[in-house]
Amino acid sequence: LESVSHCHQNSVVHRDLKPENLLLASKAKGAAVKLADFGLAIEVQGEQQAWYGFAGTPGYLSPEVLKKDPYGKPVDIWACGVILYILLVGYPP
């Protein structure tokens, strides 16, 4: 979540958060997790909710993206929730 927070503080929305884009620096306990694949990332201004482009991986897309409504930073938070669900339960919602 620190990586996502850092992106959002710098006006970047990743738009493709998924387990495959989270990389462990090592297998050691407490190893750093690095966020990868910024190919779909966009820059937004403040709390802008005016992006309409369809981007991301099915299964991690927020309702706003699926409905083609304006969206912004919250789409990354939704994807973090999906990832957390997978980590807790072992399979996607």
Ramachandran class of 87: left when φ > 0, alpha when ψ lies in -120 to 50, beta otherwise: alpha
Predicted confidence at residue 49, as pLDDT, reads 66
- Going by C-alpha positions, the residue among 49, 62, 47 that lies closest to residue 16 is 62
Evaluate whether residue 48 is within a structural domain.
no
Mean pLDDT to the nearest integer, 60-88: 94
Evaluate whether residue 44 is within a structural domain.
no
Q: Are 15 and 40 in contact (CB under 8 A)?
A: yes
Evaluate whether residue 12 is within a structural domain.
yes
pTM of the model: 0.88
- Would residue 76 show up in a list of annotated catalytic residues for this protein? no
Q: Are 33 and 23 in contact (CB under 8 A)?
A: yes
CATH code at 1?
A: 1.10.510.10
Please identify which of the residues 16, 37, 69, 76 carries the catalytic annotation.
16
- Quick: pLDDT tens for 32-42: 999 999 999 99
- Domain range holding 1? 1-38+55-89
Domain count, the chain: 1
Mean pLDDT to the nearest integer, 4-29: 94
